[in-house]
Structures are given as C-alpha cells and as structure tokens.
Amino acid sequence: MKLIDYLPANYQDSDQVYDIQDAINSPKDLLSDAIEDLLQQIFISTATWSLTNWEQYVGLATNVNQSYDLRRAQILTRLKGQGISTVALIKQIIEDYCCNPEIVEHFNDYWIEVKLDSSDNVESLIASIMTVVDGVKPAHLGIDYTIVQTMHNDLRSRTHNDLQQFSHRFIQNNRVVFRT
C-alpha cells in the first residue's frame, strides 16, 4: 500500500501531493527491499551474498563457483557436525546434500557402508559428500561409499509379470529391489 492511500480523498487528486508522495515512495521502496534482502541473509537456507560470511564463521574455504545449494549444505553440515558423530548424524549430513542413504554399520570392524542411489545424481556430489563426512566422522572409522544402480542384468531373470508394475522410465531412473 502506498502512502497516498492513507491521505483523504481530496489530497489524492492533487498532482502536487501525488508528486511529493511519489518522491517519498521511491526511497521507501528501496529501503524496504534492502531490509528484506538483509533478512534473507540471516538464514542460511535463503542466504546468497552472505554465504561467504557464513563460510568464514564455520571455517570453510569459500568457493564461489559452487552452487548456492551446495554451499548452504556445507555450512549446515559444519554446524551440525559439532559434538559427537553418530551414524544418524552422518545420514542426516548426506540427506542435506541429496538423498536418503542406506547406511550399514559394521561396528566390530570399525567401518560403515554408505549406499547412495544413482537416481539422486550423487555422482556430481560424491566428492563434496566425502569431504564433509570425513570432517565430522571419528578418525578411526572407515567409510565405504557405494553408488547403487539398477542394471539390465539385475532385471534379466525377472518375468514380465514381475516388472509390469513399473514403467520403463521408472526402471531407468530408480533402484528396483525385489525381496524374496
């Protein structure tokens, strides 16, 4: 709503009053936009130009060539990584990047297996995921990453009746698991 709308009707018809109000509205709108932009920078999930400040705050190197989403995920991961690392924390960190990982803990052997679905485009994110997870996991814990794909050979032994519930596109883009 503009300031002129708050004035009595007889003022709204005046060209002089309209010009004055128009001159006041322009800087007011700029100030309002600047305040809105500043509020966006306070929250990591909506920050853009302040991501560099957030990265400095959590001790990350700034790479302006990375997408905003990737930089936000790295900042959030670093903030979540304070304290004790658990399998649940590692899963939550990976979920911030891309997907719903399957994590198998091999407690007695001191390692975990992280299975990522190829349909989540993890190939482009795997290096960042590995770097961030390595920064929060205990040093003695080993991690194996597996990118799971549905392969033609996996489906070859199945009949038409087994597969008719899935579209061709679904089988191409998703992991199809049969439990027997």
In a domain, 144, yes or no: no
Residue 48 has a pLDDT of: 96
Task: Give the confidence band of 36 by pLDDT, cuts at 50, 70, 90.
Answer: very high
Contact 24, 3 (CB under 8 A): yes
In a domain, 67, yes or no: no
Residue 40 has a pLDDT of: 96
What's the token pair of residue 42? Answer: 């306070």
- As a whole number of angstroms, the distance between CA 141 and CA 55 comes to 26
In a domain, 132, yes or no: no
pLDDT-wise least confident of 1-10, 145-154, 167-176: 167-176
- As a whole number of angstroms, the distance between CA 78 and CA 132 comes to 8
In a domain, 98, yes or no: no
46-55, 59-68, 152-161: which is most confident = 46-55
What values do phi and psi take at 178, rounded to 5? -110, 125
53 has a pLDDT exceeding 90: yes
Mean pLDDT across the chain, nearest whole number? 81
In a domain, 38, yes or no: yes
In a domain, 133, yes or no: no
In a domain, 150, yes or no: no
pTM of the prediction?
0.50
Indicate the DSSP class of residue 116.
E
Contact 133, 141 (CB under 8 A): no
Residue 179 has a pLDDT of: 44
Residue 101 has a pLDDT of: 87
Q: Please give the residue range of the domain that contains residue 14.
A: 3-42
Contact 73, 64 (CB under 8 A): no
Q: Which of 147, 141, 100, 142 is nearest to 127 (CA)?
A: 147
Q: In the chain, how many domains are there?
A: 1
In a domain, 89, yes or no: no
